[in-house]
Amino acid sequence: MQTAIDFLEPTHILNDSPALNFGKRQQVLIVGAGPVGIRLRQLLHKKGFDGDVHVFGDEPWAPYDRVQLSPFLDGKRNLESLSLEDRTAKEADENFHAHCRVEHIDKVHRLITTNRNETYYYDHLILATGSRAFVPTMPGRDLSNVLTFRDLRDAQTLMARMTRSRTTVVVGGGLLGIETAIALNRYHTRVIIIQQPDFLMNRQLDETAATMLRSQLHAQGVEVRTGQGVREILGSYQAEGVRLRDGTVITCDTVVFCSGIQPNIELARDAWVKVRQGIVIDNQLATSDPNIYAIGECAEYNQKIYGFANPGMEQAEVLADRLCGGSGLYTGSLVHSRLKLSECPVFTIGITHDEAQGSRYQILSYRDEPQSIYRKLILDGRILVGAMAFGTWPEAHSLGHMIQIGHRVSALECWQFRKTGDLSQHQNLSSIAHWPATQTICQCKGVSRGALSEAIQGGCASVSELRACTGASSVCGSCEPMLDALLGDTSKVQRGSGIFSYTLIAMFVFATLAAIPFVSHYWSGTEQWSSTSWDLRHLSRDGFWQQVSGFSAFGLALLSLTVSARKRIKPNRWSALKVVGKFSLWRNLHLILASAMALALMLHTGFSPGNNLNRLLVMDVLLIALAGALLALLISYGEKQRPVPDPLRKTAFWSHLLLFWPLPALLSMHIVSVYYF
């Protein structure tokens, strides 16, 4: 059995004359073995395509996921996790041609010729040739140690080079450039990003978000220089430095170009297939030749090259449907980008800041500086057409659906967003199962709701199984709550709703119990108080009930402490009852036991504050309960509504913890004083 990424020897067709394969079975040839080409083959296999599908890749590797190269370079993915092999049609492996470059297309006879001088007939030819790194023309671009980052060979070269590099210059401050710089920074190399525009990711972000991103990169040790382009690379045989447009020289030993992509259109152009910047396609994904199609980063639809993985995946879905007799049409893709390697994520979807320059669009912004959160909505009239965020945004997973259905943002939602940063107060994922089958759930991998539902019907019962089967949530993980919702578990999204209500009730109970002793003490000597039925001091004088209430309070306190420890221990994977390990259950139980303990204590004292050390004991217990209830209130509010500032939550936590320390000593002295004296 082959390993995940093996060198494959050239695979030969069993037919002695491949060009004479004119049988009844249709011949589909896919030129390009990247994620989009492999995805098309998977879909054709899944849909029961009645024909032969051949895939040609010019790299000496089994199919691998280029989307994962940044995490691979950063050390967060291993080589085996890049493989697409487990998700391909096993019985079609003999029709995968590695290290086999297609060099010529004969449109008249519908033939292709490879670098092995082999000729293949096609009924349908799909060009999924992808793109390569764009390296601008400048002196020194051909020197040694001037690299690009586009494929597995580039990634391996960079990993080998970084163990010796002392200073690396990354040319380009876009998405790929930033991910590359963050990944290379882990090798303890000085990394400098050179960005010609005035701020990072200028096509996706505005200046505010770019400034926050720059600060985050600086905190991670990555230097950034904006408003400066590289004019030339210095050195005799290898890179020794770069000269910027203002004349500044930066000494370095490695230069990495991440300054954009260039679609691979040469094969189509030489065959007189219409090209502009990319291979021109229509809404059926056909080129100027009706038997030749193009998908992925090499394709240009409606004068636009997307340059991201998810549009190519959507194109593969449409084309697979058409090749299997369907009537699907491609109408464009909702562009989604996410910075995967930064501690503070960057997220954009739909119309970007660069595209929204003009009076046509309305901009709504929200910023929480203490939490380093910045969010922006782009509206066309009142219709949501784009969004951008720096920092976490739990609601981000539903924005794609809202944009695609043309969600009209109400005045109330505008007010809500400006105040809280969210369009809706509560996140509701229960409707995902009713979304259109073509709606994309995983933007990174282009996995639709229909594909996920089919996988669930096919036996996938967990997020990990869905991830292995479809690839969804395998890149950035932001769509995992939606996978949970499709599986029928929305607890990860609405986990704070129950405890929030319980905590409010507990806060009221604790505050009331804390106030009663002082009210009782104040009124106890008055005629009004003594004449009422509220005088419960007799409970503290009855020896039997005093012991019952005292030992009950003590036992409940021990149980509450035990639960407090148990709720922070990971559940045993062999637990007979899965519910035993749920943190929310133990937290609620801890809250209930603490409330019961406080009530038992007050019954034990007869709702009297007591004197001397006994008063200190009562006050300490009630303060512990109040601090714990406040902490639970803050945590549950953060889970249900919006994050609570860390200083406030930490103050409540440490107050709850530190107030506990005097309790054992006070309790011991109380027991000794009662039973000894």
Task: Give residue-wise pLDDT tens across range 581-628.
Answer: 455 566 667 777 777 777 777 777 766 666 667 777 777 777 777 777
pLDDT of residue 90: 46
Among the residue ranges 91-100, 288-297, 450-459, 517-526, the one predicted with the least confidence is: 517-526
Gap between the Cα atoms of 113 and 106, Å rounded? 8
pLDDT of residue 286: 96
Q: Determine what percent of the chain is predicted with pLDDT higher than 70.
A: 74
Taking the mean position of all CA atoms in its chain, how far away is CA 536?
Answer: 57
Q: Determine what percent of the chain is predicted with pLDDT higher than 90.
A: 33
pLDDT of residue 70: 85
pLDDT of residue 514: 57
What are the backbone dihedrals phi and psi of residue 362, each rounded to the nearest 5 degrees, phi first? Answer: -105, 135
CATH fold for domain 146-259: FAD/NAD(P)-binding domain (3.50.50)
Best-predicted range by mean pLDDT among 305-314, 342-351, 517-526, 540-549? 305-314
Gap between the Cα atoms of 218 and 207, Å rounded? 16
Looking at per-residue confidence, does 337 or 673 come out higher?
Answer: 337
Banded model confidence at residue 429, pLDDT cuts 50, 70, 90? low
CATH 1.10.10.1100 residue spans of the chain: 426-487
> Is 70 exceeded by the pLDDT of residue 360?
yes
Best-predicted range by mean pLDDT among 211-225, 450-464, 475-489, 533-547? 211-225
Two tokens, residue 650: 């930490």
pLDDT of residue 444: 67
Of residues 606, 641, 343, the one with CA closest to residue 494 = 641
Kindly report the pTM of this predicted structure. 0.67
- Look up the CATH number of domain 18-132+262-323: 3.50.50.60
pLDDT of residue 410: 86
Our CA angle for 407, 413, 417, nearest 5°, is 110
Gap between the Cα atoms of 180 and 158, Å rounded? 10
Give the CATH superfamily of 426-487.
BFD-like [2Fe-2S]-binding domain (1.10.10.1100)
pLDDT digits (tens, 9 = 90+) for 12-53: 333 444 444 445 689 999 999 998 999 899 889 888 888 999
Our CA angle for 27, 29, 34, nearest 5°, is 150
Gap between the Cα atoms of 530 and 540, Å rounded? 16
Banded model confidence at residue 645, pLDDT cuts 50, 70, 90? low
Average pLDDT for 282-294: 95
Banded model confidence at residue 340, pLDDT cuts 50, 70, 90? low
Gap between the Cα atoms of 321 and 314, Å rounded? 11
CATH 3.50.50.60 residue spans of the chain: 18-132+262-323, 146-259
